[in-house]
Structure 1
Amino acid sequence: MTGTVTLSMEVELGWGVHDIADDAHLSDDGVAERAYLGRLLDRCDALNVPISFDVVGHLLESDCDGDHDGPHAGDWFDADPGTDAMADPLFYAPDAVEAIRDRPTDHEICTHTYSHVNCDDVSAATLDWELSRCQRLHRRRVGTETVSIVPPRHHPPPRAALLDADIEVVRLSRDTSDRGQLSRLKELVAGPHPTFEPRLVDGVVETYCTTYPSLTASTLPLGKQDPPAYFSSLPVAFRQRLQRAYLGRAVDAAVESDGHCHLWSHLYDVANEYQWPVIDGFLSELAARRDAGEVQVLTMAALNDRVRGRAPEVTTSV
């Protein structure tokens, strides 16, 4: 049996919360996020483990005047400082994109829309503007358009908009909160991580993840944000072991079922010394299991090619 694993990481910085003005989880000027991105890229290079980085399009800009011509609501871009990467590095991050792009590991740079819009809650014209703008930026900054999207806050985009933008694969979430409070708590802390097989649906490959970040531990601080108080009473080392076991079992399930596992987090989630040892150790384990022939590690783009080559297409009435 050979399972497949996809790792994806949302790179949002200030754009992830620009509409709700709640950035307490972020470091000043994104210093910690950039530092841990560097550590992550170093580790991935040492192990040759690729990640799909889902980047908000505006972060590819080096500067702007804050006056965008999109058909958005009038106040949507109010938080845009209209400056540049030096003045406001939470809103411009071409350096982070270049760091990912220039590494020897074959990482993927996906889109997370241009300004972190809820894809099912904006007009068709707005979403078309967002995706078109992203593709232009990807051509300029990355060298090629992207075929992959991770919609912000798990809001599924209309299929027609993706096809019009030449997007071929989308990460969607599956909500498991209906399993009851105790079952949900067990899943978050100890697993098992749900296994969802990717599908080709109406011309677009869908890969599925949890609604909560699964690559990082909800029992540990996420960036600068503390976990719920009832977790804080447990020893840190114990919580780290729980997450390592959770991730190992997630790979086990994919291997044993000859199936797929998609693990994800935000960049800020990993940007502290609580989460990093878990991520570091798991990447080593994943690389060792790949080298042993147990599992393949595929970006969303590579998964897209694999599913299109193997899976029958599902046609819906939507």
Structure 2
Amino acid sequence: MGSVVISLDAELGWGFHDMADPPRDRVEAGRRGWSVCLELFDEFDVPATWAVVGHLMLADCDGQHDGHPAPDGWFARERGAWADREDLRFGSDLVEDLLAADADHEFASHSFSHVLFGRPETDRALARAEIERALEIAEEWGLSIDSFVYPRNDVGHRDVLAEAGISAYRGRSPTRDGVGGIVDTRLRNRSLLVQPVVDEHGLVNVPASLFCYSFEGPRRTVAESIWTDPMVAQARRGIDEATRSDGLFHLWFHPNNLIQPRDDQRLRTILAHLERARERTDLTVETMGAVADRVARGDGVTGQRDPEWAEGRDLSGSDSVRASLE
């Protein structure tokens, strides 16, 4: 029985606060995209894994975060340029909408303040502080966390996740993003299916298959005018592969990728294809946590191994990945 997982990096401004020149369109699209995603998931009854930045769940803060071992200047934009942009720094209303949704979503973590876990400057103390603070805030909301999505897919300090009681994380995709991914799958005939694996820390790595918004701008416009939306074609391919097998197709994106109506339509088209596949086959939709649960039961895991691509191998040279992971 094949399955599909959809995971989202829910971050609002925190996904960009450390960037010198954040992409304004995506910064401003976070709230809109969040609401559109919830509406579409409810319409098609699709549960997703929502990895939420913990800071969004605070009612307020002074911007200082005394005692947090972040690098100097880490909270500079919150204290300065975005001091009056509470809509980018806080999102308790959106989290409440998520928890009230009809679809049975999984609440997961995207760290406390979007620290990059694989960077040399992120030591164990900082990684632990990010995880512990996110868990504390979730507990204040009466929530638990089983799954973790690394900011910008920068995998690191997996032992800290395990010690905190987290069960699963999203690993890097074995195929490239954008044009490179289309070449990999259509010319080299590489599968979009992935295999969940247990690492040496006992964590279940649920690798990504496809970043849904990695083919954008003029190239997308040209492709749609002479062919179709390339990412819709890739997603359909992955869903159909999962339908024909016992494999897993894992689609991911950020709510802030939904900037304009054609971005909404991309997601709607993919979900409609998924709905048709579920109606005629035994294909299921799972969350990352559900995958981890069945792997823990010995269902659908190949054993302990540690693939190079799951460990955050540098894929920054592939098409559009550097920008898409922000």
TM range (shorter): 0.7 to 0.9
Which of 214, 222, 235 matches 2:211? 214
Equivalence map 1:162-241=2 (5 Å): 162-177=161-176, 184=181, 186-187=183-184, 194-202=192-200, 203-210=202-209, 214-216=211-213, 218-220=214-216, 227=217, 229-235=218-224, 238-240=227-229
Task: Give the AA of the match of 2:2.
Answer: G
The corresponding residue for 1:294 is 282
Equivalent AA in structure 2 for residue 298 of structure 1: E
Change (3 A) 1:304 1:171: same
Structure 1 residue 160: Cα displacement:
1.6
Deviating more after overlay: 32-41 vs 146-155: 32-41
CA displacement at 1:307 relative to structure 2: 1.3
What CA RMSD, in Å, does the superposition of the two structures yield over aligned residues? 2.9
Ranges in structure 1 where 5+ consecutive residues have no aligned partner: 221-226
Structure 2 partner of 1:155? 154
User: What corresponds to 2:144 in structure 1?
Assistant: 145
TM-score, normalised by the number of residues in structure 2: 0.82
Residue 183 of structure 1 and its aligned partner are, at CA, apart by 5.3
Q: Work out which of the residue numbers 111, 114, 117 in structure 2 matches 1:113.
A: 111
* Number of the residue aligned with 1:13: 12
- Residue-by-residue CA offset, 1:19-48 (whole Å, 9 max, x unaligned): 1133224357x4x43233223212222221
SS of structure 1 residue aligned to 2:59: coil
The alpha-carbon distance between structure 1 residues 88 and 239, as it changes in their structure 2 partners (threshold 3 A), is: farther
Deviation, 1:291, is: 3.0
In the superposition, relative to structure 1, how do residues 22 and 54 fare at CA in structure 2: closer, same or farther (>3 Å)? farther
CA contact (8 A) 2:243 2:281 kept: no
Asked if the contact 1:189–1:246 (Cα under 8 Å) also holds between the matched residues in 2, the reply is no
Aligned match of 2:25: 26
Task: State percent identity of aligned pairs.
Answer: 28
Counterpart-to-counterpart distance in 2, 1:100 and 1:189: 36
Which residue pairs with 2:62 in the alignment? 65
Relative distance call for 1:85 and 1:303 in structure 2 (3 A) is: farther
Determine if contact 1:18/1:79 at 8 Å carries over to the other structure: yes
Residues in 2 aligned to 1:43 and 1:270: alpha-carbon distance in whole angstroms: 12
The C-alpha deviation readout for 1:206-251, integer Å capped at 9, x for no partner, is 01115xx6223x333xxxxxx2x444444458443x3322211111
Matched residue, 1:314: 304
Question: 1:193: how far off?
Answer: 5.7
> In structure 2, how many angstroms separate the alpha carbons of the residues matched to 1:261 and 1:303?
12
Deviation at 1:112, TM superposition (A): 0.8
Alignment-mate amino acid for residue 130 of structure 2 = E
Contact 1:193–1:249 (Cα < 8 Å) also in 2? no
Structure 2 residue identity aligned to 1:252: D
Taking the aligned partners of 1:278 and 1:313, their CA distance within structure 2 comes to 36
1:136 partner SS: helix
1:250 counterpart = 2:238: yes
User: What is the aligned partner in structure 2 of residue 270 from structure 1?
Assistant: 258
TM-score, normalised by the number of residues in structure 1:
0.84
Please give the per-residue CA displacement for 1:246-275, whole angstroms capped at 9, x wherever unaligned: 211111112223101110011111231121
CA distance in 2, matches of 1:119, 1:166: 17
Aligned residues: 300
Q: Does 1:103 align with 2:101?
A: yes
Deviations 1:47-102, CA, capped at 9 Å, x for gaps: 21111111111111121001112112121111223899984211111111111011
Amino acid at match of 1:198: P
Query: 1:175 offset after TM fit, Å?
Result: 4.8
SS in 2 for 1:7: strand
Whether 1:37 and 2:25 are equivalent positions in the alignment is no
Question: What is the match of residue 320 of structure 2?
Answer: none
Using the alignment, how far apart are the partners of 1:103 and 1:237 within structure 2?
Answer: 38
For 1:223, the equivalent position in structure 2 comes to none
Q: CA separation in 1, counterparts of 2:270 and 2:194?
A: 21
Q: Find 2:273's aligned residue among 276, 285, 299.
A: 285
Letter in 2 for 1:11: A
Name the structure where strand makes up a greater proportion of residues: 1
Q: Alignment partner of 1:261: what SS?
A: strand
Q: Distance in 1 between matches of 2:152 and 2:7?
A: 14
Question: What code does the residue aligned with 1:314 have?
Answer: Q
Contact 2:111-2:130 within 8 A present in 1 as well: yes
Find the aligned partners of 1:233 and 1:293 in 2 and give their Cα distance.
34
Tell me which amino acid in the other structure corresponds to 1:123: D
Matches within 5 A, 1:124-143: 124-141=124-141, 143=142
Amino acid at match of 2:44: L
